[in-house]
Structure 1
Amino acid sequence: MSLTLDYFIDENLKLFQDPEHFRFNTDTKLLAQFVRLKKQERVLDIGTNNAAILVYLDQFNVKELVGVEILGETSKVAQKNVDTFIKHRARIVNKPIQEYTDNLFDVIVSNPPYFKMNANQQPEKLNYRHLGRMEENLTLEQLVYHASRLLKSYGRFYMVHRPNRLNEINRVLYANHFSIRNLQFAYDHRDNKVKSVLIEAIKESNCDMNVLEPIYI
């Protein structure tokens, strides 16, 4: 396993990455900074990849950080980052979120795969980077269902996704007892097009939706 040592958002936040795997990107950074934590909360990162978001959230007064990652080699990188850089109680679980059980969390975070599999794609031909982007192991419906299953009532679910799927996202969230509280669009300053949407959804809440000021990247 040949790893690079990079910094994430801040030069003081370092982590290891595997060049062959899905590496953190702008959306990972946007999501990490979008999350708001209260004191002593338990946080779950679904599809934690190399645990970059957990490394960032370790700066705050958390009770526990948990990352679930289905890919074995990727979870080893995440575990190395937890062991090396995280100060709070933290653990990496190498299994599908569909099989994961735990006490309920206060906050759940996910930077999930954005793209649906099509009929011509053969799963066995997908590499690690493809698996970070394609819904082979985790569909939007599965993600939201299991986030609801593992989250406390009035718990907060943070995710980043593509704006063209916003109708579907809202429908799936509502079907799983979530209401969107905060929505924020990230624009590419070069063409002024929306590239990503950041979502904070509250479980079993009838809150109004706030559309926050846009981000330009």
Structure 2
Amino acid sequence: MLREGERIDRIAGTNDRIIQADDVFSYSIDAILLGRFAYVPIQKGHVLDLCSGNGIVGLVLAERTKGNITMVELQEKLNDMANRSIEENLLANRLSSVCMDVKEIPSRFQQGMFDTVTCNPPYFPIEANKLIKEQEHIALARHELACTLEDVVAAGSYALKHGGKLALVHRPERVSEMIAVMQKNRIEPKRLRFCHPKVGKPANIVLMEGTKGGKPGLICESPLIIYNKDGSYTHAFKQEYFRQ
């Protein structure tokens, strides 16, 4: 099951296990928060997770729905890890990971076949002459080398049925761009939540969900504070992240 350099970690708030490795991008708080924030049909339906990495968002969503979940990941190594984690958790009957570029979604999937699309995309745009020092696997996960915010929103809009939900986690400084790109692709932002490291500190994570073909009307949900002043996790965060 495990290859050289890999380990198995337990996913916070679940009994599920996930394969990770230090030489590729491991999941962080934002991925779990996205998996808990996004709307998913409970009994049945079809969910698509873009830029899925080692499968963390899809595995979290699997705790909340009995529907089918398809994950799309560009990097072969991460895709392989995701499929082995699916097998480890005995979820192959309704979860799968496909190795492909999000820009190929229109050529690989039927339009409007998904109820929900989620994405934890690369956060950082490529600036002219910027030197990216991370290893290739990590750089692709963090920087818009292979796909942009517009690429994932356009792919999500194509894949969603009318009334379907697109949920993203991103950096707060890109909120205005998120709204503009979603509206350009016929997705109306409906829910917004900022996550702050501590009280009095600027938000460093934003969660946003929109409805394809939805009417205007954005709800800004109560902010999530992650740490108390003493560095311990807040009660609200422990409820959200660890299900305590």
TM over 0.5, shorter chain: yes
Select the structure of larger CA radius of gyration: 2
Q: Say which SS state the counterpart of residue 113 (structure 1) adopts.
A: coil
Structure 1 Cα separation of the partners of residues 103 and 89 of structure 2: 28
Q: Which residue number in structure 2 is paired with residue 91 of structure 1?
A: 96
Pairwise CA distance, 1:215: 0.2
Q: Which amino acid aligns with 2:81?
A: V
Structure 2 Cα separation of the partners of residues 22 and 191 of structure 1: 29
Q: Which residue number in structure 2 is paired with residue 209 of structure 1?
A: 218
Q: Which residue number in structure 2 is paired with residue 168 of structure 1?
A: 177
**TM-score normalised to structure 1 length:** 0.94
Q: Which residue number in structure 1 is paired with residue 231 of structure 2?
A: none
Mapping for residues 79-158 of structure 1, pairs under 5 Å: 79-87=83-91, 88-100=93-105, 101-103=108-110, 104-121=113-130, 126-158=135-167
Q: Does 1:194 align with 2:188?
A: no
- Runs of 4 or more, structure 1, over 2 Å off, are 60-63, 121-126
Q: Where is the strand percentage greater, Structure 1 or Structure 2?
A: 1
Q: Does 1:25 align with 2:28?
A: yes
Q: Which residue number in structure 2 is paired with residue 177 of structure 1?
A: 186
- Size of the aligned set, in residue pairs, is 217
Q: Which amino acid aligns with 1:30?
A: L
Q: Which residue number in structure 1 is paired with residue 237 of structure 2?
A: none
Contact preservation (8 Å) 2:17, 2:88: no
Q: Which amino acid aligns with 1:23?
A: S
Structure 2 Cα separation of the partners of residues 20 and 143 of structure 1: 25
Can you give the 5+ residue segments of structure 2 that lack an aligned partner in the other structure?
227-244
- Give the percent of matched residue pairs that are identical in Structure 1 and Structure 2: 25
Q: Which residue number in structure 1 is paired with residue 8 of structure 2?
A: 5
Structure 2 Cα separation of the partners of residues 192 and 28 of structure 1: 21
Q: What CA deviation, in whole Å up to 9, does each residue of 1:84-141 have, x standing for no partner?
A: 1143412111010111322321000000001011222468975211111100011011
**TM-score normalised to structure 2 length:** 0.84
Two-structure CA RMSD over aligned residues (Å): 1.8
Can you give the 5+ residue segments of structure 1 that lack an aligned partner in the other structure?
none
Q: Which amino acid aligns with 2:109?
A: D
Q: Say which SS state the counterpart of residue 180 (structure 2) adopts.
A: helix
Contact preservation (8 Å) 2:32, 2:60: no
